[in-house]
Structure 1
Amino acid sequence: MKKFTFSFIFFVAISITGKAQDPHYEYEQIADSLFGLLDTSYITTGYHADRGIFFYNHKAFDGESNSQSMQHYGMFKSFIAGIYTSSISEAHQPNDYANWEDDLQSILHSGKTPLLFMHYRYQQFLEDSVTLFQYVNLMNGRLHDVAGSAGNAYSTENLVAIAAYAHKIIDTLNAVFKLPSDFVLGNTNKTIQQLEMDWDNGLGYQSFTLNEDIVVEWLNFGEKTVTLKVTYTDDTVVYAKFKLSLIDTQENSSAEKLANGAPGYDAIPDDRIYIQSGRSQNLGAMMEIEYGCGNHAITKPLIVVEGFNPAEFFDNPRGLVYRDFFLSIRNFENRDFINEFPLFTQLQEEGYDIVYIDFDQGAGDLRENAYVVMAVIDWVNEQKANNNSEEANVLLGISMGGVVGRLALLYMEDEAPNTHDVSYYISFDSPHLGANVPVGFQFMIEHLYYSETIGILRIRDFVPELEDAHNVLGYEGTKQLLRYSTVQARQDQSNDNIFNKRNWFTSQNEYTTAGGNLINSSHSSILSELNILGMPAETAENIGIANGNSDGDNQGFQPMSNIFSAFCDQTGGCLQVTWFNFNIRYDINVRALPNFSSNPSEIYNGRIWHRMFNSFNVNIAKRFVLEVENVRPYDNSPGGSYNVAMFGLDQIPFEIDNILDEFSFIPTASALNIQSEINNPNFTFNPALLVSNSQTNFDAIYVLDPSKYAPNAAPNNEEHTAFTPSNISAFETSMFPPVINDINTTPTIVSETFNFGRN
């Protein structure tokens, strides 16, 4: 007969004591109350697993050859948390491992993937409940040893696990690993005699030692199950496994494509060349090159500067962003508006060589990436000279790329006039006056990110989307682009520790912080520089494209609208994350920015707590309330719209009651650099007069034009950086010359010379 689940025992204990109300108990107080009277002399390992919290089934990692595989690093950390909460003595504190992330990142950045290994021995209650209750009983809500019993109520088990800090390997069949001795954890006091690893590459077990570089090669891509075999000097052997994913983003390589003579453009670049920044060490970009006219040399360049690209945070391998760009052009012609706007075909027929810049740090400092663009332009011009081409460059900056490209051209004009050879600079829905991500969303991401559970385990360890989203908000490029940044604003106000990261079980349940001035210093600095430098002066034309409208039409909701809400306080429901009956409860509400007012407005109210064993609530983090004042209603303003899914919010495994589909990411005033109206984001204007009235320093602008969609209905605002009927003319007028006889439909005689084209 199997034992009752521990959650049942705990539930009975709480029921008897009558403490099933809603107080906030510290976890250790609860565990000590239930287990504190037991004789611990049988807990020889120092760890009693039944009092611990394990977020995954630790029993499946028992060191046997058929044990389960570790899926990711977060699972490994959860086992550490489980071990610490199982301790019968003073619990280890998370700051014992405060330098873990820095050390692991350091190894990873050196080109090696760090490994971590644990082997812990622990005690747990006997599985047979009949035998168990001969030694342990429950009285008055507490566990007691049965008087006069002389048996052992516990079995001794192994927890053996190995994990790779990064479990994805991109576009290579070779990798280097390292198992540092500092990351070999355990309490067995055994001495390792031999370490062997089967890398699932057909070579069987290969010996290695601690702290050495382990060079591994595979024959094919796909998921691999790697098995560690540890032999101790007492001849005991344990096994541990982990998963690796070898991902090929360049199926059908460029070399193969060229060798097969594949005609025309496709989503697989003809060439991939890395270029180093001339200013910053260890910074550069991969140039994804698609040659025009079936040639293998650059003669007519279209330089595309990628937009904001947090790919390094979302496991989006290099190359996929270029592929997305390319497919967006092709789908515009072949799917969205079939045979109406042949942009894809025209690019090919005109023989443009596409040079797509994929930055090393797609969310990095805008100035640093501008230096990379300068290096690319120099390289392109050198290639043109070698190929005897006198064609000028066209530079297309997508979103953030429009700002970075603008800086690069301005820097080149200042340092070495008449060298960039760019005729048309096209800014595609770029945030010249700043981008917008709802402040309430930003604050929610930070609140969830800093919410801790037990020991060193955090919510973000088992909800990786939080890690991704938080990293995106914290990078320099993000802070430079956002008009309102909660991360930078807190740093500017020396209020960077409001989330009280290390104080997770607390009776205090509320913290209110005023937003104050959310225009952050990083954004103000880059904005000031752009305003001083102006627009490139050596181009033939500077073109600004906005995906927003000119009529003041909003995104379909009002200021202070509820744009996200999630609530769950159900028994057995919510975010179930444990092997036992333990889950996370939440009550979160996010509102859009208000209209400008000096009165504080609440745009975030969130509380997160544990429900343990269906009986106790324990705070993970305080309730946080964010109030703002003197802000502009950018969330619903006219502009290129962005889907919340891009920040991973739809992937957070919450019971979401309401979530906004789209918000204004690049306000129209920002995309068109209308400085006089950026504080009035819902303004209206006549696009035909904007340039002539000097409201913008672009030479030509394109904005959502409903007439271009006829006979179909136009959206209120277009998707950010979408190729649409409204903006296709920006490319046609700048990049494609008129077709013969488009100007003169009938040949005319001029000085006895037939002229079928331009005068």
Structure 2
Amino acid sequence: MNYSKTLNKKHQLVVLLTILISLCMAFSIYGQDFPQNNDMRKSLDFMFEHLDRNSVPKGLLRDYAVEYEDLDLFIGRGPLEDDNIGTVVRFGNLLKTISSSAVKEDPLEGLENSIKNIKRKNNSGELTLGIMLYEYARIKANALTDGLIRYENGQVYNTNKKESPYQSEFVFAGSCLETSTQQSNVTFSLPSALFLTNCKIKNLEIDFGTGFKNINPDKKVNANLKTGINKVIIRATLQDGQILSAHTIIQVENLVSEIQTRAITNKDSLIAHYSTTIQGQNYRGISTSAEVTISYAPGNYSLRKPLIIVEGFDPRVDAATPKGSWNFNRIKRESNIIALNKIYGYDIVYVDWVKSQEYIQANSYTLKSVIEWINSNKIGNETNVIVGHSMGGLIARYALKTMENQGVRHQVSTYVSYDSPHLGAHVPLGVLYAFHGILSFLEGHSVMDALINTFTPANAYIGLGKSMAYSTAAQQMLVHYVDPAGNYNNQEHIQWQNELKTLGFPKGDLGTSFKMLAVSNGSYSQVSVPPYYLQTSFSAGTDIGSTFLPRVLGLAVGIGLNDIVAGLLTVLPGRTSINGSFDIYPAHASGDLVTRIRLQYKKTFLWIVPISKNLFSYDKNYQGGLFYDTYPSSSYALIQDDQGLPITEKDKMGIPLIFDFGYDVKLSPRIPFVPNSSALAYGDGINIIPANFLSPPHGTSSPFGENYYTHSTTRSHSFFTDDALIWMIQRLSTSIVGPKVGTNGAQYSLSNTTGSVTWSSSNTSIATINSSGVLTVNGTGIITLTAKHGGNTYSQMIMVGMPRYILTASHEPGGYEINAECIDNQFKDYLSNLNGVLTYNWGVKYPSREIRWLEADVPSLKIDLRGQNERVIVYLEVIDALGNKSALQHIEINSQDVYVAENQNLYIDAQGVLYKENKTKYLYNSARLYISYRANIPDKYKEREWMATTTMVLKPFSVTSVVDARSGGPLIKNILPQDELDYIKNNSTNNQVYRYTLILLNYSSRAIQFVPVTFTYVTNI
């Protein structure tokens, strides 16, 4: 074969394909070994139960082995081809096969511990070799027919003839355990713990392409390797003169050219001028942080005009890429990012998550801290632009809206959501089930584990798969979720979507201009649904494995869970050892088969007797009525160019991966990921309308209006495309100018443009707009004005007329909540998207106090609980941006007592004895103020938030305390400590009253109810 041609094609393979192969090695972490106590092992133990084990030469019998690799490929005398290259995976498989062939003592006992003691020397220039050479026995092909053994009732018996029933064979393999290096001048070492043999070897040699050199255990050999893939030949000469050969490979990688830079198109580069790490507030006890890198615009030496790029889901699970796949180095050479910096004068601020897989809310709190830090360090009055990619768009949305709700100014004028899953992301259900299925199959441990853990990044890749499938952030975003137990459960996603729906979108700081832009990397062109995502037949295909591809320098940008599942398959035993299928399908209808796994181990005994055992069977069907596999979406592509377009031409892909597993494997070049409707927030993610997936939003149907961009052809979710960035740059400087409250004759224009503009209204029954941008009012409501210029579309939402409200109020822990509910349908669904259009003027009147007026930009108000059974009147006047006012309305509120108290009025005599209200003695140390639910109380007050757990005690003395209120109510001795009791006893006059006020608090320390308690001093009772 043309070995060099094959290897040269491998060098052309982009990082993602390489990852799939490296990832496959992770299989053994969870037990590529079919455990020694499985059915096959038991069958072989039964079959050879009566064999005279002392008669087996070398104590190793191939017929007794569970074969994980085809030993016939590694005899040491055949041609050195792709299918017998010594990789870490194959080397481990061969060792396990030899280990399982031991009929007496295992020759590899203790090897795992020895391997763990060998330090992996990644990129140090020192490479580790493992070499195995074993002589083993095999029952002769004629042993049964010539009567050398008997086979009865499924068991083997010796016949004790003089002729041995065994023939001797060799297995010889070597592996360079570090599959790649960034240095050409290297040193090879062969630790004695990894020189494994039961043969007498006269000489051991190694050839790196410059001729053979002797190599001995624990001795080092220097080599100068070429860039690319190097073939290493190992030759062993036995004492009897036999010469055996094996080979392995090592790749010398160019760190600069091989690192994940598929989007780099410009030799120019941003400079990282400043970096810092910022910690966020806790969310549910979880605190996250972000590494912030800043590249100042030319001429700036401090922050003046920030453009904040917020990365998405990027778990840091690989030591080789400690910053994850997305980081400042990933975007610093993108031409349009450079243009934003050097032409438009933006200071690029990159936000890199340390723990992106945690709650989205937790990272949102961190982004809030980042924005506050930026604003405190910024010089001048420029506003911020924030671009959130993928999950980063959700984080930015949550952070900005939370800051607005808290009254914290974020100073952001433009929010760009780049392919962010506002309504959820989609990993095909079949892929999720397949990942669970393959992990369910991977169990047990073996010698192979130590090799994998020590010499490959397999743990990182399997960890990435688990992050994609099981992390909290993944659960929040994925419309489908299969938990580690294999159960379909998307409750975390539903809860998250409900929270997002309630939260809404940011509107901007009060009184400022604010725009929102959205990008979908999907297309509304016809969706081509593949017949399968993965289809595998283990009974077909070539024996040329792709597992000898070198490991990558880190996790690739754009790797998907489907890639990981496909990669895991490549280290299953070869087709000589396994039958079955592994298939993943898209769903077109409820009940469709989406995952099918059939794995069966096979072995031929005595050359003619077939043995097979079922290893694993797994079928899953689609449930639900939403068929995300068929909806227009961005994608995760198996391999893509620098604009996110999938590459399917085999000559550009390098190795044709789909034929290179050792099985017949067909892999779809991409899977759908973020539906266009999700990226454009077309809907609310809860009340899902299937038709919304199929066509773009118009008018007011999306909070982005028509300020969004979709592609003509589907792109990979992982990329900022040039087309989208150019579109974004145009919209940073161009927008519709005009009043947000529309009136007859109102004038609208398009900033920073020349030439004609085509205007339109989303609802002409409310208002029309002519070619000159002049508005004519026909009704009331909220509409979207659209301007088309130069092939681009711009939109702006405006309000026409004044909405009407009704007031509702409820008693809540801590006080009262008053809501102004809009009763006009043409307004109420869109008011939350308008900024600075309406002001809500609230008036609060407590008993015996003047009205206190409060101005707010939200139609809700919370006021404190101030006393028992108090009557409060709340007024509301709504004012629009033009000064128009609604009629004044009001609502009256009365607090509700949740609890009744017993022992509120107590007595103390001159001896300090405590008495109840009826003047009977009450033992001070056990006395209690009992509280219980009021009779016929509404059910809402029996919920957890109304449960009194502590009590704040307001005293006539200077000290305030908080005491436990559980177990029926607070103890009197905690309300009135001994020193206060003594004071009352010694310093009071007859009938003097001491008034205490107890505030019952819930678990979050919010006030539930005021309870007055009195202690009256009486000289004699």
**TM-score, structure 1 length as denominator?**
0.60
Q: 1:306 deviation in Å?
A: 1.8
Query: Which amino acid in 2 is paired with 1:440?
Result: G
> Deviation per CA, 1:383-439, whole angstroms, max 9, x where unpaired?
x54xx4443221100111101222333455566712x43221111121112101110
Is 1:689 the counterpart of 2:699 in the alignment? Answer: yes
Cross-structure match for 1:556: 528
> Deviation per CA, 1:9-59, whole angstroms, max 9, x where unpaired?
xxxxxxxxxxxxxxxx94235544765554211558765355332437699
Q: 1:587 deviation in Å?
A: 5.3
- SS of structure 2 residue aligned to 1:563: coil
**Do 1:350 and 1:736's aligned partners in 2 also have CA atoms closer than 8 Å?**
no
Cross-structure match for 2:580: 585
Q: Report the CA distance shift for 1:453/1:431 in structure 2 as closer, same or farther (over 3 A).
A: closer
**Residue of 535, 555, 566 corresponding to 2:505:** 535
Query: Which amino acid in 2 is paired with 1:55?
Result: E
Cross-structure match for 2:473: 477
The 2-side partners of 1:282 and 1:272 are apart by: 27
Is 1:732 the counterpart of 2:723 in the alignment? Answer: no
Q: Report the CA distance shift for 1:644/1:534 in structure 2 as closer, same or farther (over 3 A).
A: same
The 1-side partners of 2:366 and 2:227 are apart by: 32
Q: Report the CA distance shift for 1:621/1:289 in structure 2 as closer, same or farther (over 3 A).
A: farther
The 2-side partners of 1:475 and 1:370 are apart by: 16
**Do 1:73 and 1:163's aligned partners in 2 also have CA atoms closer than 8 Å?**
yes
Q: 1:604 deviation in Å?
A: 2.8
- SS of structure 2 residue aligned to 1:682: helix
- Residues 428-577 of structure 1 aligned to structure 2 (within 5 Å): 428-452=418-442, 456=446, 467=462, 469=465, 471-486=467-482, 488=483, 496=485, 518-521=489-492, 523-539=493-509, 540-547=513-520, 555-557=527-529, 562-564=531-533, 566-568=535-537, 570=539
The 1-side partners of 2:382 and 2:228 are apart by: 44
The 1-side partners of 2:94 and 2:57 are apart by: 19
Q: Report the CA distance shift for 1:221/1:121 in structure 2 as closer, same or farther (over 3 A).
A: closer
Q: Report the CA distance shift for 1:446/1:350 in structure 2 as closer, same or farther (over 3 A).
A: same
Is 1:276 the counterpart of 2:248 in the alignment? Answer: no
**Residue of 640, 649, 661 corresponding to 2:634:** 640
**Residue of 310, 314, 339 corresponding to 1:305:** 310
**Residue of 54, 60, 64 corresponding to 1:41:** 54
Is 1:85 the counterpart of 2:85 in the alignment? Answer: no
**Residue of 672, 680, 693 corresponding to 1:663:** 672
Q: Report the CA distance shift for 1:358/1:248 in structure 2 as closer, same or farther (over 3 A).
A: farther
Query: Which amino acid in 2 is paired with 1:672?
Result: A
Cross-structure match for 1:18: none
Q: Structure 1 regions of 5+ residues with no counterpart?
A: 1-24, 63-67, 174-178, 189-207, 210-217, 228-239, 254-263, 331-341, 499-514, 746-759
The 1-side partners of 2:392 and 2:399 are apart by: 10
Cross-structure match for 2:390: 399
Q: Report the CA distance shift for 1:121/1:44 in structure 2 as closer, same or farther (over 3 A).
A: farther
The structure with more radius of gyration: 2
Higher relative contact order (CA 8 A, sep 6+): 1
Q: 1:674 deviation in Å?
A: 2.1
- SS of structure 2 residue aligned to 1:125: strand
Query: Which amino acid in 1 is paired with 2:730?
Result: E
RMSD: 6.6
> Deviation per CA, 1:328-356, whole angstroms, max 9, x where unpaired?
954xxxxxxxxxxx886465311223233
- SS of structure 2 residue aligned to 1:302: strand
Cross-structure match for 1:369: 363
Q: Report the CA distance shift for 1:617/1:359 in structure 2 as closer, same or farther (over 3 A).
A: farther
> Deviation per CA, 1:717-752, whole angstroms, max 9, x where unpaired?
56546647578544322257999785999xxxxxxx
The 2-side partners of 1:71 and 1:390 are apart by: 63
The 2-side partners of 1:376 and 1:242 are apart by: 49
Query: Which amino acid in 2 is paired with 1:28?
Result: R
The 2-side partners of 1:528 and 1:286 are apart by: 30
> Deviation per CA, 1:619-668, whole angstroms, max 9, x where unpaired?
56432221343341122123334436699996983524573744353341
Q: Structure 2 regions of 5+ residues with no counterpart?
A: 1-37, 77-81, 185-189, 199-216, 219-223, 234-245, 260-264, 546-571, 641-645, 647-655, 736-749, 758-1021
**Do 1:119 and 1:186's aligned partners in 2 also have CA atoms closer than 8 Å?**
yes
**Do 1:563 and 1:590's aligned partners in 2 also have CA atoms closer than 8 Å?**
yes
The total of aligned residue pairs comes to 618
> Deviation per CA, 1:218-251, whole angstroms, max 9, x where unpaired?
9999999999xxxxxxxxxxxx999887866557
Query: Which amino acid in 2 is paired with 1:125?
Result: A
> Deviation per CA, 1:513-564, whole angstroms, max 9, x where unpaired?
xx7x64242x23433332333223445425242427897x66234xxx8433
The 2-side partners of 1:543 and 1:635 are apart by: 28
**Residue of 137, 142, 150 corresponding to 1:125:** 137
- Structure with the higher helix share, 1 or 2: 1
The 2-side partners of 1:131 and 1:275 are apart by: 74
Is 1:622 the counterpart of 2:628 in the alignment? Answer: no
The 1-side partners of 2:669 and 2:515 are apart by: 34
- SS of structure 2 residue aligned to 1:351: coil
Sequence identity, in percent?
Answer: 18
Q: Report the CA distance shift for 1:126/1:642 in structure 2 as closer, same or farther (over 3 A).
A: closer
- SS of structure 1 residue aligned to 2:707: strand
- SS of structure 2 residue aligned to 1:675: coil
The 2-side partners of 1:71 and 1:169 are apart by: 17
The 2-side partners of 1:554 and 1:127 are apart by: 61
The 2-side partners of 1:652 and 1:225 are apart by: 19
Is 1:147 the counterpart of 2:145 in the alignment? Answer: no
> Deviation per CA, 1:486-518, whole angstroms, max 9, x where unpaired?
2x3xx5xxxx1x6xxxxxxxxxxxxxxxx7x64
The 2-side partners of 1:364 and 1:583 are apart by: 39
Q: 1:323 deviation in Å?
A: 7.9
Q: Report the CA distance shift for 1:357/1:153 in structure 2 as closer, same or farther (over 3 A).
A: same
The 2-side partners of 1:411 and 1:71 are apart by: 56
Q: Report the CA distance shift for 1:626/1:97 in structure 2 as closer, same or farther (over 3 A).
A: farther
The 2-side partners of 1:542 and 1:607 are apart by: 53
Cross-structure match for 1:348: 342
Query: Which amino acid in 2 is paired with 1:541?
Result: F
**Do 1:77 and 1:456's aligned partners in 2 also have CA atoms closer than 8 Å?**
no
> Deviation per CA, 1:297-326, whole angstroms, max 9, x where unpaired?
543222111233357469777576458964
